[in-house]
């Protein structure tokens, strides 16, 4: 996507995103997005030959703990502070209508 972002492109993206934008907003976003694209296009002027792509600018090391079996909460302890419980489970209010398909 090179060049200027015109108002028709902004309107199309707004429609896809289900956004209602006024004419002044479309004009403003068109100018702002065009400026962003122009700024990003400056990267094409750089010589990146031999530059390895990075996921992070700093070295990142994953720290994993040993995967070991540990005791977990029992049912009684897990449900101790539940406002309501039924047959060893948390009881929550119904939020779907019957026949909702979920």
The predicted pLDDT at position 3 comes to 74
Nearest CA-CA partner of 21 in 8, 39, 34, 4: 8
Question: Averaged over 18-31, what is the pLDDT?
Answer: 96
Instruction: Tell me if the pTM is above 0.85.
Output: no
**pLDDT greater than 80 at residue 57:** yes
| CA separation for the pair 5, 35 (Å, rounded) | 9
Domains assigned to the chain: 7-45 (1.10.20)
| CA separation for the pair 34, 6 (Å, rounded) | 8
Nearest CA-CA partner of 10 in 23, 40, 36: 23
**pLDDT greater than 60 at residue 64:** yes
User: 57 phi and psi, to 5 degrees?
Assistant: -80, -20
**pLDDT greater than 60 at residue 98:** yes
pLDDT band at 36 (very low <50, low <70, confident <90, very high): very high
Give every CB contact of residue 96 below 8 A, 6+ residues apart in sequence: 102
**pLDDT greater than 60 at residue 1:** no
Choose between 79 and 97: higher pLDDT. 79
pLDDT band at 25 (very low <50, low <70, confident <90, very high): very high
| CA separation for the pair 6, 41 (Å, rounded) | 17
């Amino acid at each position: 996507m090179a060049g200027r972002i015109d108002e028709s492109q902004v309107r199309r993206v707004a429609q896809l995103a289900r956004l209602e934008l006024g004419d002044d907003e479309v004009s403003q976003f068109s100018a702002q997005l065009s400026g962003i694209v122009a700024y990003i296009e400056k990267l094409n002027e750089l010589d990146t030959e031999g530059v390895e792509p990075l996921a992070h600018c700093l070295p990142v090391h994953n720290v994993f703990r040993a995967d070991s079996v540990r005791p977990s909460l029992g049912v009684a302890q897990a449900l101790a502070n539940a406002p309501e419980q039924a047959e060893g489970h948390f009881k929550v209010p119904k939020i779907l209508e019957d026949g909702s398909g979920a």
